[in-house]
Structure 1
């Protein structure tokens, strides 16, 4: 992606005034919105949320929305829920198939198909400074043709782990058996009676392990919540509150970290008791939470089955009929399943030198902070707050200042050393390294993230205006509500109740005071 032209950021956040040009006020009333087109790249959960929030916020306003999704369907949700799910799911924690159907149903309910083009991959996004727009090139993957589009605002919602990769092992594509990846898993593959090897990182292995022990919501609970919205709200708030109280576990050497680590180790020892030789191999020596917790339901139990052999070793080479381990042993195989990770890019909610460009789930995203959907909605609201200003205030572009990016990065890099993500483990938080720089997650708790994004710090942005005078949007001295016969006393609010005896000029507010 490129930002064409020079001088994207004006002096002190404003475009330089045009020299000696006579000013002429706009004949339009204050509040008359200008047309804005938004393009969202990607239609997973973020894209679905964008459509819902767009329809809620910009109804009957001259704002257009288009989404491009490279996959054949919307709403790719990941592998399974790791927090309590919808009480009408088949069980408390569900896997990918049920999650997919849920999000697909939400997409249909919100009218997402009316806004999205599937199997369309955005290949180029370039800023046109003169027009104050992005030009986009999009490849139609079904036909191979390229189409073009434009937008005043682009929201990148491609996700944190959208670019899965095969492991970097010599010979992987010479394997003649069944080759699968957890991120693009073919559920129709017949593995019965086959000799299978699974290359895993523990935080991803949870996604493949059997999941037959999940608890379910009772019919009585479901009926109660359906009939009593207040009880349902209490249930939702209680579950989320409990989830958000766990952040202290992430703090290095905290009491909560030590107690939880001891509890988890005890659980692992119990669940590995069938094969005690695995205990010293699988219980980690790094801080709990340095990467995703391993003792997911069914994972350790699967490793203890009689038909499973655990090898803690590197793979030297893949050959047509199996693998060669680092100690020279050949293991013959019928199938390989790779759960080895993703390419993670450097993304952020805003990027210096790229005006009118926003991202969801970029660097420092709260990827280890519990339920993610409220965080996605916070990203979308943030971008839509900027759209609102572009639409109503005569602003051509808004771009985060480089010094603001640097200051935030300095803060994040400093505070993250107090959290377990900098412990010595290999993690995609550090782009697959043991001791590399932590690009995520958010340097604080889930509530900390939500409050931080709730009110944008516009002082951290440079603004460029559509004309040389930033106040031209004030227009002709009238408001749009006056010209359209709207409510001209909207500022008068209902006051509190008073008894007859209290009705005196000193106790009753008339105009808000």
Structure 2
């Protein structure tokens, strides 16, 4: 007997790829009492937020799409940000999701009610609602990481993060300081360099950058793809198989990375002729330990006379610019942070309280972990998309999301059909799973002497899946209720 009224059967937090895919499949399963809570003004997640110049995907567009909505007229092999965002809006319209979404809304607190087996959510505006099933689809790349720059409040110019690009700031002729050289920076730095008077790139560690096999699809190709959609499906399979083979280089056959090391070295030598600059741009860690990046214009941009690469940390900021760790001052009109995201801070800043008052942040104080990256002991009826250790370094995250969505659909269906009030993963099941994951990670290239956004400050890799995506799909294909404690 419920003592609290249940306002929704399912609440999904986030309307990026994970949230959209989950809602679409739930509706196909007959579930209509769905509410999606989205902090932004539209669907899209990181593809709505990251509007910086040059933003694009590094997974080919034929694979970076839902399996049930794969035949889409992409303009290029690697889709630009606006096109991916339009695809997400298209999916939301086609599957009638907008009426289920509450925009410009954030969850402050989610609390599990033991007696009723439901979740009570408090929104930042003070509203409350309840749900049988809570699904988080907040992603791993939604909270920008700002560097702790001493004195930044004194800086006279504009300063902003790439994920919160200030399009009102005119960079024409300006001296622009860029802090960070991650996946976003290698895309926007060439665009900034086209208009800025000077670009000063502060690099903590160099990245491995290889050529991007990108091009626009021809008119003939569009005609073939449109009239024979099977060609797009076959290309999708080809891309998947090619990308999946790269997992060997990260995990069990790291000598395979020699091929990519050669590709990187050749790309660097071809585009950077200055030996001193080439040395600055050569990483001091094994390839793959950090994310491998793709760009055709990053190195040529850095080779220009008005672009300077600075291999020193930043000690302070004043009104006129930045002082590096050697004491050298660098004037700047604008500072742009290309410093990535708080990827290991899963589900923050929400407070999530589970059974018997368990605080998820406290449970995860040594690093986030979950069974299959989806369920957590002590938090019944809570399911995560793109949770701990489900990120990839070699293939499309949408493939992983669809594996998780399929698994969660089974959980929801069993709860409905069997009258299950609470479904909670067993302690030993979660413990055994994560021990295997961490054991595998310890033998991967990600654990070979670098610090990346894959890891917590203590060095635990909480983000990556240490193997093949088809193996993850095998493990999530069929729900085994014996893995869970059930309260009917």
The answer to whether the aligner puts 1:120 opposite 2:105 as a matched pair is: yes
CA contact (8 A) 2:18 2:385 kept: yes
Instruction: Decide which of 453, 457, 477 is 1:428's aligned counterpart.
Output: 453
CA contact (8 A) 1:77 1:96 kept: no
Instruction: Decide which of 376, 387, 390 is 2:401's aligned counterpart.
Output: 376
Instruction: Decide which of 85, 110, 132 is 2:61's aligned counterpart.
Output: 85
Give the CA deviation at 1:367. Answer: 2.6
For 1:151 and 1:329, the matched residues in 2 are separated by 56
The answer to whether the aligner puts 1:49 opposite 2:49 as a matched pair is: no
Aligned residue number for residue 457 of structure 1? 480
Aligned residue number for residue 207 of structure 2? none
Aligned residue number for residue 109 of structure 1? 94
Aligned residue number for residue 197 of structure 2? none
Aligned residue number for residue 11 of structure 1? none
Give the CA deviation at 1:294. Answer: 3.6
CA contact (8 A) 2:8 2:35 kept: no
Aligned residue number for residue 302 of structure 1? 301
For 2:7 and 2:312, the matched residues in 1 are separated by 59
- What do you get for the CA RMSD once the two structures are aligned? 2.1
Give the CA deviation at 1:378. Answer: 1.6
CA contact (8 A) 2:403 2:473 kept: yes
TM-score, normalising length from structure 1? 0.78
Cα distance change, pair 396–227 in 1 and its aligned pair in 2 (3 A): same
SS in 1 for 2:245: helix
Aligned residue number for residue 154 of structure 2? 174
The answer to whether the aligner puts 1:238 opposite 2:238 as a matched pair is: yes
Give the CA deviation at 1:295. Answer: 4.7
Aligned residue number for residue 338 of structure 2? 339
Per-residue deviation, residues 129-158 of structure 1 (Å, max 9, x unmatched): 21111111112xxxxx32111100000111
Give the count of matched residue pairs: 421
Give the CA deviation at 1:232. Answer: 2.7
Moved more, 163-172 or 232-241: 232-241
Q: Which sections of structure 2, spanning at least 5 residues, go unmatched?
A: 1-5, 48-54, 63-71, 195-211, 346-367
TM-score, normalising length from structure 2? 0.82
CA contact (8 A) 2:176 2:336 kept: yes
Give the CA deviation at 1:210. Answer: 3.5
CA contact (8 A) 1:429 1:441 kept: yes
CA contact (8 A) 2:178 2:335 kept: yes
Aligned residue number for residue 375 of structure 2? 350
Cα distance change, pair 132–253 in 1 and its aligned pair in 2 (3 A): closer
CA contact (8 A) 1:252 1:287 kept: no
SS in 2 for 1:163: coil
Instruction: Decide which of 121, 130, 136 is 1:136's aligned counterpart.
Output: 121
Task: Kindly report structure 1 stretches of 4+ aligned residues shifted beyond 6 Å.
Answer: none
SS in 2 for 1:324: strand
For 1:194 and 1:203, the matched residues in 2 are separated by 23
For 2:150 and 2:164, the matched residues in 1 are separated by 21
For 1:41 and 1:445, the matched residues in 2 are separated by 28
The answer to whether the aligner puts 1:359 opposite 2:384 as a matched pair is: yes
Give the CA deviation at 1:253. Answer: 6.3
Instruction: Decide which of 23, 28, 39 is 1:70's aligned counterpart.
Output: 39
Moved more, 407-416 or 329-338: 407-416
Give the CA deviation at 1:36. Answer: 6.8
Per-residue deviation, residues 348-378 of structure 1 (Å, max 9, x unmatched): 3111100000001111013323111121122
The answer to whether the aligner puts 1:202 opposite 2:182 as a matched pair is: yes
For 2:96 and 2:170, the matched residues in 1 are separated by 36
Give the CA deviation at 1:382. Answer: 1.4
The answer to whether the aligner puts 1:40 opposite 2:19 as a matched pair is: no
For 1:438 and 1:201, the matched residues in 2 are separated by 21
Cα distance change, pair 204–178 in 1 and its aligned pair in 2 (3 A): same
SS in 2 for 1:377: helix
Alignment of 1:151-230 (within 5 A): 151-210=131-190, 214-230=214-230
Aligned residue number for residue 3 of structure 2? none
Aligned residue number for residue 201 of structure 2? none
CA contact (8 A) 2:45 2:142 kept: no
CA contact (8 A) 1:132 1:397 kept: yes
For 1:283 and 1:443, the matched residues in 2 are separated by 26
Bigger Rg over Cα: 1
